[in-house]
């Protein structure tokens, strides 16, 4: 089973549960419900959004943009020793900050500093992970290559600041 939401509603509140028929049909009529289920406006927007995503081949665009962004992050990792693991699928990307690549010692203080500096430069990402040293990047499906390049430029600059401050 998969849950969907944010991109589906184009800014309106909606979510969906997707799964195999034999699982979803097991509830029977009235066996599954939610508050405000089936809001007509949200459902109409979701239908139109899905139509546009299919027409404009959004899955292929997301895959291509994700590959481009991931390649850019991996290139930054070649340049900056503070970057540990870089991974992702589609436009759900993640980058780890470490003090040492061999030991993978988490760079928690450095990550906190980096998060503050990224925000100052207008780049919003999510600081996660057990040690709070993993940056998740989850941009909009409609991000452009120019915007990806700008994000990579900001990362490059700020990671340089981290390296200078925490040598």
For 15-29, write each residue's pLDDT tens digit: 888 899 998 888 877
> pTM for this one?
0.83
Question: What stretch(es) of the chain map to CATH 3.90.1150.10?
Answer: 59-165
Which residue is associated with the tokens 């309106």? 12
Q: What per-residue confidence (pLDDT) applies to 143?
A: 95
Does position 30 have pLDDT exceeding 80, yes or no?
Answer: no
Q: Give the per-residue pLDDT at 63.
A: 96
The pLDDT value recorded for residue 24 is 84
Give the fold, CATH level 3, of 59-165. 3.90.1150
CA pair distance 106, 60, nearest whole angstrom: 34
Residue 105 confidence (pLDDT) above 80: yes
Question: How much is the pLDDT for 136?
Answer: 97
Which pLDDT band, with edges at 50, 70 and 90, does 98 fall under? very high
pLDDT for the residue 12? 87
Rounded CA Rg of the chain: 20
Would you state the pLDDT for residue 55?
Answer: 96
HEC per residue, 127-149? EECCCCCEEEECCCCCCCHHHHH
Q: At 30, phi and psi to the nearest 5?
A: 75, 0
DSSP sequence for the chain: -EEE-GGGGTTS---EEE--HHHHGGG-TTSS--TTTT-HHHHHHHHHHHHHHHHTTHHHHHHHHHHHHHHHHHHHHHH-TTEEEEEEETTEEEEEEEEETTTTEE-HHHHHHHHHHHHHTT---EEETTTT-EEEE---TT--HHHHHHHHHHHHHHHHHHHHHT-
Which one is predicted more confidently, 92 or 34?
Answer: 92
The whole-chain average pLDDT of the chain stands at 92
Residue 34: pLDDT above 80?
no
Report the distance separating Cα 45 and Cα 155, nearest Å. Answer: 35
Mean pLDDT, residues 105-132 taken together: 96
């Amino acid at each position: 089973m998969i849950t969907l939401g944010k991109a589906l509603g184009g800014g309106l509140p909606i979510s969906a549960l997707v799964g195999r028929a034999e699982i979803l049909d097991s509830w029977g009529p009235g066996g599954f419900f939610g508050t405000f289920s089936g809001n007509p406006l949200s459902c109409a927007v979701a239908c139109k959004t899905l139509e546009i995503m299919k027409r404009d081949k959004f899955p292929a665009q997301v895959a291509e943009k994700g590959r481009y962004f991931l390649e850019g992050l991996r290139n930054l990792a070649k340049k900056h020793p503070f970057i540990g693991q870089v991974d992702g699928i589609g436009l759900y990307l993640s980058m780890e900050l470490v003090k040492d690549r061999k030991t993978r010692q988490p760079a928690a203080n450095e990550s906190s500093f980096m998060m503050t500096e990224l925000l100052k430069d207008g780049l919003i990402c999510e600081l996660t992970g057990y040690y709070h040293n993993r940056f998740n990047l989850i941009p909009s499906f409609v991000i452009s290559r120019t915007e990806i390049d700008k994000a990579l430029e900001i990362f490059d600059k700020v990671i340089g600041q981290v390296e200078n401050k925490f040598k």
